[in-house]
Amino acid sequence: MLLVSAPILGIPEKAALSKVIDSGWLTMGERVRAFEEAFAVMHGADDCVAVSSCTAALHLILHALGIGPGDEVLVPALTFVATANAVLYVGATPVFVDIESSDVPLMSIAEAEARCTSRTKAVILVHFAGYLANAEQWQRFARARGLHIVEDAAHAPGLKEVGQFGAAAAFSFYGNKNMTTAEGGAVIARDPDLRDRIRQARGHGMTTGTHQRLNSRSPQYDVTMLGFNYRMDEMRAAIGLVQLQNLQEWNEIRRIVVVLYRRLMATHCPAVTIPFSEPRRSAYHIMPILLPRYVVRQDVIDELRAQGIQTTIHYPPVHQMTLYRELFPGTHLPRTEDFAQRELTIPLHPQITSPVAEAVVAALAAALDSCAQAGTAA
């Protein structure tokens, strides 16, 4: 099966893990600190905080910003559910905002403005598929209303612009991301005080960590805030240090594959549209396409699967999931819903060669032709 995404792991990662095991120190030590420093340098930041997941990163950012009960946070529904869940974690209310268009499936500023109230305290921008939102427009929007900007950058590691939009950015290193630590995440926050609050809250609100106490004269510590167990361990950090060395090269390969896909689609699948037709900075995390309206998406999924090609959907809209439908009944986001009904994600990762991309597009063209014939016959 050709997978939608596939981590690249090998001998260097195995060697790095072996060194951690041989060291006898498994969590929150020198490798975590080295990973934080290296990740920060790549993004032009002074420092960052490594955590257990992007979900944890989002939760910690909102918590450290003091967002809580009675507050509202603008979020897209075209995202992974964790974006909205993190708002609920702090007791605030997620307010779902429609996308700009099928070509730019990022949160609409006009729709965001319409949904702002006196209780709105923040907006979470999701860099969907790795494509960056417009920083200047959103910064003007946020300044005019006194809002915090939080970036959900799960799809966009390696871009220096990320982490500069507003208060903080949350990254994911899950197994299907551009680089992986299996599970894991990070926060870039340029305000040192905010970053320190996030760092302390990641480890139960303790004033020192285990490794710090090992190297100090006293084993004493205090707890001065409510905290969480969101630490990254040494094994994940060791993998991350290796992966980070390859991230820029892998992102460039992704870009080249996307360019190839666009050319092949225009020739062989002209009925398919590809979002982000205009140039835009991206980490090229996934390859979303929009199927023509005459196609039954499940039929295309089944035909591609029969050819050994995995596909998936990004995303089932969060506001239509049972939990959120019950919490916020009557929410209707027409552009998000239309996009989500027609979107299909095809394989994109650095191991895809030109012949593989050509085979994927050929299989898609055959599936679309089959669907069109079935529709005509009906």
Q: Which residues are annotated as catalytic?
A: 177
DSSP letters, 220-275, are ---B-S---B-BPBHHHHHHHHHHHHHHHHHHHHHHHHHHHHHHHHHHH-TT-B-S
DSSP letter for 320, please. Answer: G
Sheet holding 120-126, edge to edge: 49-51, 185-189, 168-172, 148-152, 120-126, 72-76, 93-97
Residues contacting residue 135 through CB under 8 Å, at least 6 positions apart: 161, 164, 165
d(CA 49, CA 194): 11
d(CA 378, CA 374): 6
d(CA 287, CA 311): 10
Question: Which CA distances in Å does 321 have to 44, 185, 311, 314?
Answer: 37, 25, 21, 14
Q: Is the dihedral of CA 253, 172, 46, 76 positive or negative?
A: positive
User: 182 φ, ψ to 5°?
Assistant: 80, -80
